């Protein structure tokens, strides 16, 4: 979704610094971009474009020590140059970038029009710059931004710059803003990854905080009262390297290859956070797992793991539906929200509602300091490191690893959980070896031009099927559906015709026999059976060898699907890191 970057400092090429910051935010997904600087004679100049940044430059902008920039993912108004940010005030002295949705923009706009403001875009964002301009007639910039912000309904972040000034003002509510502290330079961004090439020392704005930033000082205010606040900077653990592709062609592939190491380090973590999580679950009066997309499938897998390993019942829901499930929540209920970004609006909205019911909120999140992290009573980190590809891979595997360990901790046999995870890590490593990759690439070539793919499994292979189907859809745009294998004969089997690729998960557990029977039924209707199992079987037309790892087999099974999705994207000339229409963090409803 939209990205924000602002710079003020001693460098005189602010436009390039900002453009570079925007490039680091590209992975979030966007359809247009823009940069503005306060240049010669204090005039604000702007450069905007539709599409990706690519090889574009900002050479038309003058030398400057201050600038702001934005990558836009269109919500209100089409993908046009006019609608892209930064937006300017009528007198062109104020420049503004915005993330979020201004829910009351139409009424604000109507009033501003009567006050003689001229709008040039169709966006909700533009009202914010005219509001600031209107208030600036009476107040200084900080106070004008604060007062304007208080008039906005919804979850929003603004960064504002004025001509002839060396200061930026940023304010946020429910939309992330991070301040980066450098040497005679300071920055703001919607994502810490955009800052790590400059500094690892940051501060995450909390809801309704406003920050006044110039090259040597950063002053924090409570946006509601206008009073100054003290704050504590933090030093990020990961540096710039963790956010780079290195030797890999795409972030997605790099992130897939990081997975064995991530699983191993979760298993060997001597601080054992999953024991604490198990204790919180034990003490609660019912647990609800909540997530969206891939994280929702991690929740579903968690419900199987808790049942199978710990004989504990947990509920689960997708974030956007969870709000309709809240009526029974009590003050001892536990909501465990899973999210890579920690910024997914559907999750944030529903957990906020759960909090009003006095439920305890815990999160398993991959981004330190994210909105969900701040909102929760208990925070657990996934520990997968920055995930830049739009498709979630390593964060999902990290979530599964924690849920598996937690289920063993609940059962009182943490050490067995550790062993299972290490087995899963080894199985993933094998799959990533030369032979595994060769066989997946060959399969991708074989099925790259099909119209439909079906993925089936039972038990823990059911969430695996859903997740693998989602990955293939996202990456290759091939219509792919995941099903519980037992549902086939209740309707789905009518879709199978001669040659339809059917991926059948058949780990050697209690589901094996039934899965093989399902594969036979599919084959009898013409299905082309891709069996994912540690042993070949005569019903398989194509065999992918995945070593069993007890309850951890879901992990290598999903990794197979991630790799297939990746190589299908390559075969079909799709961009695996930035699939069409998708954004990395979905910060709107
Ligand atoms: O950041 P989150 O984990 O909360 O994101 C949830 C979903 O938007 C995300 O998993 C999405 O489904 C991805 N595109 C999956 O690859």
- From first to last of its 589 residues, the chain has per-residue pLDDT tens of 689 999 999 999 999 999 999 998 887 778 899 999 997 677 899 999 998 898 889 988 989 999 999 999 888 888 899 999 999 999 999 999 999 889 899 999 999 999 999 999 999 999 999 999 999 999 999 999 999 999 999 889 999 999 988 999 999 987 789 999 999 999 999 988 899 999 999 999 988 999 999 999 999 999 999 999 999 998 987 666 667 788 999 999 999 999 999 999 999 998 899 999 999 999 999 999 999 999 999 999 999 999 999 999 999 999 989 888 788 888 889 999 999 999 898 999 888 888 888 999 999 999 887 888 888 999 999 999 989 899 999 999 999 999 999 999 999 999 999 999 999 999 999 999 999 999 999 999 999 999 999 999 999 999 999 999 999 999 999 999 999 999 988 988 888 999 999 999 999 999 999 999 999 999 999 999 999 999 999 999 999 999 999 999 999 999 999 999 999 999 999 999 988 878 777 766 6
Domain contains 425: yes
Domain contains 584: no
Give the up-direction half-sphere exposure of residue 81: CA atoms within 13 A in the CB hemisphere: 4
Strand order in the sheet with 66-72: 44-50, 32-38, 66-72, 3-9, 185-189, 178-181, 201-204, 234-235
Q: Is the CB of 298 under 6 A from ligand 1?
A: no
Q: Specify the ligand 1 atom closest to the Cα of 347.
A: 4
326 and 444 in a single domain? The answer is: no
pLDDT of residue 381: 94
205 and 262 in a single domain? The answer is: no
**502 is annotated as an active-site residue:** no
Q: Is the CB of 292 under 6 A from ligand 1?
A: yes
263 and 394 in a single domain? The answer is: yes
Q: Which of 242, 263, 287 is the last residue of a domain?
A: 242
Distances (CA, A) of 271 to 265, 380, 381, 415, 559: 11, 12, 12, 14, 27
Which of 2, 47, 299, 502 is the catalytic position?
A: 2
Distance 63 CA to ligand 1 centre (A): 39
CATH number at residue 266: 3.40.50.10490
Asked whether the beta carbons of 421 and 266 are under 8 A apart, the reply is yes
Distances (CA, A) of 326 to 295, 336, 458, 543: 19, 14, 29, 44
Give 27-64 as a 3 state SS string.
HHCCCEEEEEEECHHHCEEEEEEECCCCCCCCCCCCCE
Q: Is the CB of 242 under 6 A from ligand 1?
A: no
Alpha-carbon torsion 246, 252, 255, 260, what sign? negative
Domain contains 267: yes
Longest dimension (CA), the chain: 80
Distance 340 CA to ligand 1 centre (A): 7
Of all protein residues, the one whose alpha carbon is nearest to atom 8 of ligand 1 is 293
Q: Specify the ligand 1 atom closest to the Cα of 471.
A: 16
Can you count the helices (H) and strands (E) in the chain? 17, 25
Domain contains 581: no
d(CA 361, CA 375): 8
Distances (CA, A) of 401 to 420, 554, 580: 10, 10, 29
Distance 576 CA to ligand 1 centre (A): 15
Q: Is the CB of 347 under 6 A from ligand 1?
A: yes
Q: Which of 189, 213, 242 is the last residue of a domain?
A: 242
Instruction: List residues bridging with 202 in a β-sheet.
Output: 180, 234
DSSP letter assigned to residue 32: E
d(CA 568, CA 546): 19
80 and 29 in a single domain? The answer is: yes
Of all protein residues, the one whose alpha carbon is nearest to atom 12 of ligand 1 is 293
Burial (CB count within 10 angstroms: exposed 0-12, middle 13-18, buried 19+), residue 283: exposed
The secondary structure element, H or E, covering residue 211 is strand 209-213
201 and 281 in a single domain? The answer is: no
| 433 Cβ contact list (under 8 Å, min separation 6) | none
Query: Ligand 1: which of 1, 28, 294, 391 to mutate, judged by most atoms within 8 Å of the beta carbon?
Result: 294
Backbone angles phi, psi at 95, to 5 degrees: -125, 140
Q: Is the CB of 492 under 6 A from ligand 1?
A: no
Q: Is the CB of 577 under 6 A from ligand 1?
A: no
229 and 370 in a single domain? The answer is: no
pLDDT of residue 369: 76
The rounded Cα 382 to chain-centroid distance in angstroms is: 13
Q: Is the CB of 468 under 6 A from ligand 1?
A: no
pLDDT of residue 560: 98
Distance 206 CA to ligand 1 centre (A): 23
Domain contains 495: yes
Domain contains 588: no
Distance 126 CA to ligand 1 centre (A): 29
Instruction: List residues bridging with 481 in a β-sheet.
Output: 454
Asked whether the beta carbons of 531 and 443 are under 8 A apart, the reply is no
d(CA 511, CA 115): 69
DSSP letter assigned to residue 30: -
Distance 457 CA to ligand 1 centre (A): 22
Of all protein residues, the one whose alpha carbon is nearest to atom 14 of ligand 1 is 391
288 and 406 in a single domain? The answer is: yes
pLDDT of residue 75: 81
| 166 Cβ contact list (under 8 Å, min separation 6) | 8, 65, 66, 214, 215
CA distance from start to end of the chain: 12
Distance 195 CA to ligand 1 centre (A): 23
CATH number at residue 230: 3.60.20.10
Q: Is the CB of 585 under 6 A from ligand 1?
A: yes
DSSP letter assigned to residue 13: B
Distance 294 CA to ligand 1 centre (A): 5
- Closest-CA residue to 495 (of 451, 537, 533, 461): 451
Neighbours of 381 (CB within 10 A): 18
d(CA 216, CA 150): 27
Of all protein residues, the one whose alpha carbon is nearest to atom 4 of ligand 1 is 339
What is the value of pTM for the model shown? 0.79
489 and 470 in a single domain? The answer is: yes
Question: 532-557, pLDDT tens digit by residue?
Answer: 999 999 999 999 999 999 999 999 99
Domain contains 568: yes
181 and 283 in a single domain? The answer is: no
Of all protein residues, the one whose alpha carbon is nearest to atom 10 of ligand 1 is 294
d(CA 582, CA 563): 19
The secondary structure element, H or E, covering residue 501 is strand 501-505
d(CA 535, CA 532): 8
Distance 364 CA to ligand 1 centre (A): 13
Which of 276, 523, 584, 589 is the catalytic position?
A: 584
183 and 161 in a single domain? The answer is: yes
Of all protein residues, the one whose alpha carbon is nearest to atom 9 of ligand 1 is 293
476 and 510 in a single domain? The answer is: yes
Neighbours of 90 (CB within 10 A): 16
DSSP letter assigned to residue 499: T
444 and 392 in a single domain? The answer is: no
Mode of pairing for the β-strands spanning 287-291 and 334-339: parallel
Domain contains 552: yes
The residue range of the domain holding 381 is 245-432
Q: Is the CB of 586 under 6 A from ligand 1?
A: yes
| 114 Cβ contact list (under 8 Å, min separation 6) | none
Query: Ligand 1: which of 28, 73, 295 to mutate, judged by most atoms within 8 Å of the beta carbon?
Result: 295
Q: Residues, the chain, total? A: 589
d(CA 334, CA 288): 6
H helices present in 165-318, as ranges: 251-257, 259-267, 273-283, 294-310
pLDDT of residue 492: 84
Q: Could you give the number of structural domains in the chain? A: 3
d(CA 192, CA 239): 10
Q: Specify the ligand 1 atom closest to the Cα of 293.
A: 12
Q: Which of 402, 432, 462 is the last residue of a domain?
A: 432
d(CA 218, CA 220): 7
Query: Ligand 1: which of 292, 387, 390 to mutate, judged by most atoms within 8 Å of the beta carbon?
Result: 292
Strands (E), 101-208: 156-162, 168-173, 178-181, 185-189, 201-204
**47 is annotated as an active-site residue:** no
CA Rg value for the chain: 25
Distance 147 CA to ligand 1 centre (A): 34
Strand order in the sheet with 501-505: 479-484, 452-457, 501-505, 528-533, 542-545
């Amino acid at each position: 979704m939209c990205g924000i970057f602002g710079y003020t400092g001693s460098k005189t090429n602010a436009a390039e610094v900002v453009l570079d910051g925007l490039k680091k935010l590209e992975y979030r997904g966007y359809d247009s971009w823009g940069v503005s600087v306060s240049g010669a004679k204090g005039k604000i100049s702007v450069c905007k474009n539709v599409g990706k940044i690519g090889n574009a430059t900002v050479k038309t902008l003058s030398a400057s020590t201050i600038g702001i920039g934005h990558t836009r993912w269109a919500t209100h108004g089409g993908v046009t140059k006019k609608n892209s940010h930064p937006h300017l005030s009528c007198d062109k002295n104020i420049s503004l970038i915005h993330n979020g949705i201004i829910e009351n923009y139409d009424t604000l706009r109507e009033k501003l029009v009567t006050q003689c403001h001229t709008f040039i875009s169709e966006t909700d964002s533009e009202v914010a710059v005219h509001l600031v301009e209107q208030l600036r007639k009476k107040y200084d910039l900080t106070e004008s931004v604060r007062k304007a912000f208080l008039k906005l309904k919804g979850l929003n972040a603004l960064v504002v710059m004025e001509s002839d000034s060396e200061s930026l003002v940023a304010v946020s509510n429910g939309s992330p803003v991070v301040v980066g502290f450098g040497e005679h330079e300071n920055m703001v961004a919607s994502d810490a990854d955009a800052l790590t090439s400059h500094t690892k020392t940051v501060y995450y704005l909390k809801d309704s905080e406003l920050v006044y930033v110039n090259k040597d000082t950063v002053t924090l205010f409570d946006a509601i009262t206008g009073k100054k606040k003290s704050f504590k900077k933090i030093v990020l653990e990961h540096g710039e390297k963790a956010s780079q592709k290195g030797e890999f062609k795409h972030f997605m592939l790099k992130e897939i290859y990081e997975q064995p190491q991530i699983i191993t380090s979760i298993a060997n973590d001597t601080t054992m956070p999953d024991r604490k999580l198990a204790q919180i679950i034990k003490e609660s009066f019912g647990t609800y797992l909540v997530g969206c997309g891939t994280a929702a499938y991690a929740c579903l897998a968690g419900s199987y793991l808790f049942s199978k390993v710990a004989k504990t019942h947990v509920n689960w829901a997708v974030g956007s539906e969870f709000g309709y499930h809240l009526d029974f929540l009590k003050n001892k209920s536990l909501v465990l929200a899973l999210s890579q970004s920690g910024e997914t609006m559907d999750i944030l909205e529903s957990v906020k509602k759960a909090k009003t019911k006095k439920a305890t909120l815990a999160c398993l999140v991959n981004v330190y300091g994210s909105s969900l992290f701040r909102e929760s009573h208990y925070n657990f980190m996934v520990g997968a490191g920055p995930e830049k590809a739009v498709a979630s891979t390593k964060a999902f595997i990290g979530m599964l690893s924690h849920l598996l360990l937690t289920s063993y901790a609940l059962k009182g046999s943490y050490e067995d959980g550790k062993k299972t995870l290490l087995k899963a890590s080894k199985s993933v490593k094998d799959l990533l070896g030369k032979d595994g990759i060769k066989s997946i690439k060959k399969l991708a070539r074989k099925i790259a031009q099909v119209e439909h793919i079906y993925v089936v499994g039972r038990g823990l292979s059911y969430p695996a099927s859903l997740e693998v189907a989602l990955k293939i859809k996202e990456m290759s745009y091939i219509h792919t559906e995941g099903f519980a294998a037992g549902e086939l004969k209740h309707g789905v089997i009518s879709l199978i015709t001669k040659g339809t690729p059917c991926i059948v998960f058949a780990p050697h557990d209690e589901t094996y026999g039934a899965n093989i029977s399902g594969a036979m039924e599919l084959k009898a209707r013409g299905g082309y059976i891709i069996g994912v199992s540690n042993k070949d079987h005569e019903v398989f037309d194509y065999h992918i060898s995945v070593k069993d790892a007890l309850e951890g087999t879901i992990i290598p099974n999903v990794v197979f699907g991630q790799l297939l999705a990746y190589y299908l994207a390559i075969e079909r000339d799709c961009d695996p890191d930035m699939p069409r229409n998708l954004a990395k963090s979905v910060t709107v409803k």
